[in-house]
Chain A
Amino acid sequence: MKRLHIGSAPHICTGRTTRGIMLDVIIALIPTSLAGIIIFGIRAVFVLLAAVLFSVLAEYVFCLVTKRENTVGDLSAVVTGLLLGLNLPANTPIWQAAVGAVFATLVVKCFFGGIGQNFANPAITARIFMLVAFSNLANAAYPTLVDTVSGATPLQILSSGKLPSFFDLFFGLKGGSIGEVCIFALLIGGIYLIVRGVILPHAPVAFILTVFGLSLLYEGGDIASALAWCLSGGVFISAIFMATDYSSTPITPMGKAVFGVGAGAITVLIRFFGTYPEGASFAILLMNIITPFIEKITARRPFGSEVRVNE
């Protein structure tokens, strides 16, 4: 018999790879990308393409310069770029989208050690960086500059005390970032990820329910208004795609739920009491920062041990 191979058990493994997971996320983002393009037109395509292209380019060049193994093939740079693009309004200047994408991948991800090492969500951090750096984005966080949808964003309408149509809110006929408007498409993506086992539903559900609950409280029990607050702005995209990022959120189901509740609460606080009309991005970033602490307090107790891990 020929020489046999030896090795440490287990000798079989699942077919799941990092690349496969990232591909699943990209697939899950297709419905909302298409919806954004249909709603906002060809401009949206350019913004998304620029963000993806420059994100990938940034990682490629970084690996080249630092003489590291080229990691573009794991598709995580594509996900980062796409998520950033989807978080930008369709009228964002292309060069700004490109700068944001480079910031996301290079500064937030690569500088901290690459995939799995970044403590903050690259797309969200870059989004906030752009909000601060480019006044056109900061002044009107959610402008509506496409012809199909004119007028104020739902958050502005809501702030003035009126209620937008639920059909428009659900299917995305409203102002906002490319990927955040069509709740229907986002839900399809979210359900796909849950079914594929890529994400757990804990964080998104906790996030959305918290926003709903606190809005209900703020609106004095008016369910329609609370629902409208939920369906507006970046709650769904943040809950489904940002609060479920692997490297910047807790790993245990309990930790994920805590993350979701915290992010939901901060979102509502910023919306109702802050200067910015929308707080979902800040909420995610703030919760990213306290993730190590959430992990500490929500660590699972090893079976048969009296001591909790990390204590």
Chain B
Amino acid sequence: MRPLLRGVRVPNIKTTASKKAVPMPFHGTVTIPMSMHIGAAAEPIVKRGDTVFVGTKIGDVGGSISAPVHSSVSGRVSEIADITTPDGAMCQAVKIESDGKMTPDERISPPQITGTDEFISAVRESGIVGLGGAGFPTHIKYEGCKGRKIEELIVNAAECEPYITSDTRTLLDRSDELLFGIEAVREYLGIKRVIIGIEKHNRAAHGALENMLNQHPKTELKLLSDIYPQGAEKVLVYHTTGKVTPAGKLPLDVGALVSNCTTLAEIGKYLKTGMPLVSKCITVDGGSILDPKNVIAPIGTPISALADFCGGTVGDPYMVLFGGPMMGLTIENADTSFVMKQTNAVTFLSEKEAARKRETACINCGACANHCPFALDPRAFLRAYRCDNVGELGRLRVDICMECGCCSFICPAAKPLVETNKLAKAKLRAYLDEKRAKEKQEGRRERDK
């Protein structure tokens, strides 16, 4: 076996791992964005004044890559407004005034599944997207399995970011649903081997998993080293199966299907009950939170309500993140940001935690390159980017960077390495697009002659 991929050791703060997730009652107005996934936003199918129930579909697929959206409360649609999502994009959102009763939609019943196609359309109707944080519509991923030979299903239970424990809680609190989901995927997508990848330091969870898997000898448990970013898709595939996913390709292309454990548990729940994805278990933690815990909140709950439910904050939080401190997105306002499908944690960082070092000269120590899981050289990216050398950026393969943050985390000179990588990737992409367009044009001209 080839050597393991590099990474960094991040602080192992998992305060909330041992606390059972608590349902959070919310009876105010929820704001449900239509874009909680990668791809086209969903189209609202309700209008102002409509009465909806928990699980009523309020948005339908808006393109070839899209996912439907369901109401998370029962009540009345008060407004369809434009909001800004944490990634800075604008999208429509349906605001629903809760009647406080949380009445489920009476049409909800377990789906009838007889084959692969029914299974995939059930997954589409459930509104489930990649719950590890990326939010890629799950039914599209499963659709992609059809033409390919998939050798293994890899269940992503590696939760490598500091603070986040919502997947751990899935393993501990929802093991029945998880196993049900795994079995369904195994059966309907025809996958023989199932591997659950989990980090060694997550002892409570893998202890529970081992007991659980005694009844399921077909599912393997793979203990992984405690490095960050163990949960990154390509890293996980390599560390569980030894398969290298080529640059620009998907794990599916090497015959590996990766699904997050919470995604699979949601699939299990949908198949059992027919209740689509309307609430999320979210780790609410960070140096500013007084009573950190995992909460199960309706999708669309304002972030500030999460903080209030967790004892409030010590003074004003400095930074509020969707996700963990390594890859999380900062939000500008906790009152106008809302729980989304792919939200697995909201981290309230204190000023002390988020303090940045002063940027100094690069001392060429090579820590960035030597800690890069993908063996890239961020120090060279920085040089090439600052010299506007796009060709060099392409040769150095900046496109492979997954923006995990190891380089910036480790850099003693506090260089903005990940930021530069993101900018450099965009620059390279723009350059290649332009080049392609030009070639196409020239090709056309040639033909015209």
Chain A positions within 8 Å of B, measured between CB atoms, are 1-14, 16-18, 20-21, 71, 74, 76, 114-117, 246-247, 251-253, 299-307, 309-311
Contacts and interface: CB of A to CB of B under 8 A. Distances in A.
Sort A-B residue pairs by CB-CB distance and give the 6 closest, nearest first.
Answer: A251-B366, A10-B405, A300-B375, A303-B374, A2-B316, A6-B330
B319 A11 contact: yes
A9 B366 contact: no
A18 B412 contact: yes
Nearest to B5: A303
A17 B360 CA distance: 9
Contacts of B207: none
B contact patch SS:
loop
B391 interface: no
Interface of B: 5, 8, 10-11, 162, 234, 238, 244-247, 249, 304, 316-321, 325-335, 349, 353-354, 356-357, 360-366, 369-370, 373-377, 379-380, 395-397, 400, 403, 405, 408-414, 416, 418-419, 422
A247 B365 CA distance: 7
Nearest to A6: B330
B319 A305 contact: no
Nearest to B411: A13
A21 to B, nearest CB: 6
B364 A1 contact: no
Contacts of B8: 14
Nearest to B315: A2
Contacts of A114: 361
A117 B395 CA distance: 23
A11 B374 CA distance: 21
Contact of B409 (A10, A253, A309): A10
B369 A11 contact: no
Name which of A11, A71, A117, A246 has the most chain B CB atoms within 10 A of its CB: A11
A304 B361 contact: no
A253 B361 CA distance: 23
A12 B363 contact: no
B406 to A, nearest CB: 8
A116 B364 CA distance: 5
A10 B332 contact: no
Contacts of B246: 304-306
A310 B325 CA distance: 32
A2 B318 CA distance: 9
Given A2-B316, A4-B332, A303-B374, A12 B10 contact: yes
Contacts of A5: 318-319, 330, 354
B412 A17 contact: yes
A59 B403 CA distance: 37
Nearest to A76: B363
B337 to A, nearest CB: 10
A306 B249 CA distance: 13
Contacts of A10: 325-327, 405, 408-409, 418
A247 B364 contact: yes
A252 B238 CA distance: 22
A8 B366 contact: no
Contacts of A16: 410, 412
Nearest to B354: A11
Given A16-B412, A247-B364, A305-B400, A9 B327 contact: yes
A304 B249 contact: yes
B310 to A, nearest CB: 14
A12 B411 CA distance: 11
B365 A11 contact: no
B234 A304 contact: yes
Contacts of A304: 234, 244-247, 249, 374, 400
A251 B368 CA distance: 10
B419 A8 contact: yes
Contacts of B405: 9-10
Contacts of A299: 377
B357 A251 contact: no
Contacts of A303: 5, 234, 238, 244, 247, 373-375, 400
Name which of A302, A306, A309 has the most chain B CB atoms within 10 A of its CB: A302
Contacts of A247: 363-364
6 contacts: A4-B319, A9-B403, A13-B410, A13-B411, A18-B412, A302-B400
A116 B396 contact: no
A311 B418 CA distance: 24
Name which of A4, A116, A305 has the most chain B CB atoms within 10 A of its CB: A4
Contact of B363 (A1, A116, A307): A116
Given A1-B333, A302-B247, A309-B396, 19 more contacts: A1-B316, A5-B330, A8-B416, A9-B403, A10-B327, A10-B405, A11-B330, A11-B354, A12-B11, A14-B410, A18-B412, A20-B412, A21-B412, A71-B361, A251-B369, A301-B375, A302-B376, A309-B395, A310-B396
